Amino acid sequence: MKNFCLFLYLISFMAACDSKTTSENQAKQQSGDVTLVIHGGAGTIRKENMSPEKEAAYHAAMKQALNVGYAILDEGGTSVDAVIAAIKVMEDSPLFNAGRGAVFTNEGKNELDASIMDGRTLMAGAVAGVTNVKNPITAAHAVMTKSQHVMLTGRGAEQFAEEQGLEIVDPSYFFDSTRYKHLLRLQEKEKNSGGLSVVQLSEDPFVKGSKFGTVGAVALDKSGNIAAGTSTGGMTNKRYGRVGDAPIIGAGTYANNATCGISATGWGEYFIRLSVAHDIAAMMEYAHLSIDEAADSVIMKKLTTLGGDGGVVGLDQQGNITMKFNSDGMYRGYIKERGAAKTFIYKDDP
């Protein structure tokens, strides 16, 4: 009987050791896969139209966002927290069409949209048309975690943000003279020409001919969980409360641990029609494509055929990255280890 008990003890001890070793190996493997990828908008971004000073500023801002977000992941924080932190950096920068750098509506206002999704739970939150929330991505997160809803809009979203104790600012906080002058130029052209196309109305004043300035981030944490988020000021001179793809789950943002996380930037109407972010995940799930293959099929084929342009960034649970776009450029970057952020702007960047 004693020998039998000893035998059972040895078996249990060996099983515990194997379990501990397996857990440690899995944790080590997951830690090595920690990844953050971001974008700051896509469009006609060409080197000949960019000053060296402006180019350096964009690289610096993107690296700051990557480093801030990655620090959270490296210290064991969640992918959701990393996405929020990275996007807040870009929302606080006037370089990007989000938060403080948001473009102006036809009425001379800044109307902001944002969304976030947790790939572990499939919970999501979004806000649209807010005018006084300093960091709209935090309002989207509050909707996801502190309400029964997915999307809130306008004054209701602002009231909810206030009740949740988020930082509220006077709308003048978002005023940027360069963005405002661009609105006035477009409205003058509109007046003289009898109306401009949507493409012309959506140009970005910081880069000649550029149309899109949405920001976004996708993160994979040490627990293997994916999160994605997107934030934007929309289109210059937009009317009638227009909302693009950024706050729409499945169009501009999607995350699912089983497939991938995606954040999009581009001509929102087309991204909505194609449900771009979810379509990439669906092609991974049903067609068994890699994340880069799926993104290529949706962005370079489906979106291009329909006549839309823009791009996405994303990653899967193994930390594989995609940064696919069909425009001349996209502000983008990724980081897989501390101090090693990589950022890119132009189509031919390595």
Q: What is the pLDDT of residue 198?
A: 45
**Please, what are the domains in the chain?**
38-346 (3.60.20.30)
Q: Which of 214, 230, 259, 265 is catalytic?
A: 214
Residues 197, 198, 203, CA angle at the centre, nearest 5°? 105
Tokens of 318: 């193994």
Residue 114 is classified by DSSP as: E
User: Which positions ≥6 away from 298 have C-beta within 8 Å?
Assistant: 274, 276, 279, 280, 283, 312
Q: What is the pLDDT of residue 213?
A: 73
pLDDT digits (tens, 9 = 90+) for 74-115: 999 999 999 999 999 999 999 999 999 999 999 999 999 999
> For the chain (length 350 residues), average pLDDT per consecutive 10?
46 46 39 84 87 95 98 98 98 96 95 98 98 98 98 98 98 93 88 60 44 85 98 94 97 98 96 98 98 98 96 97 96 96 92
pLDDT digits (tens, 9 = 90+) for 132-178: 999 999 999 999 999 999 999 999 999 999 999 999 999 999 999 98
CB 130 within 8 A of CB 152: no
Tokens of 212: 């899109």
User: Which positions ≥6 away from 255 have C-beta within 8 Å?
Assistant: 117, 118, 119, 122, 218, 226, 227, 228, 261, 262
Element containing residue 160 per DSSP (H, E): helix 154-163
Q: What is the pLDDT of residue 196?
A: 53
Element containing residue 228 per DSSP (H, E): strand 226-232
Is 214 catalytic? The answer is yes
Strands 124-130 and 151-153 turn out to be parallel
Of the candidates 226, 231, 277, the one whose C-alpha atom is nearest the C-alpha of residue 90 is 231
Q: What is the pLDDT of residue 191?
A: 84
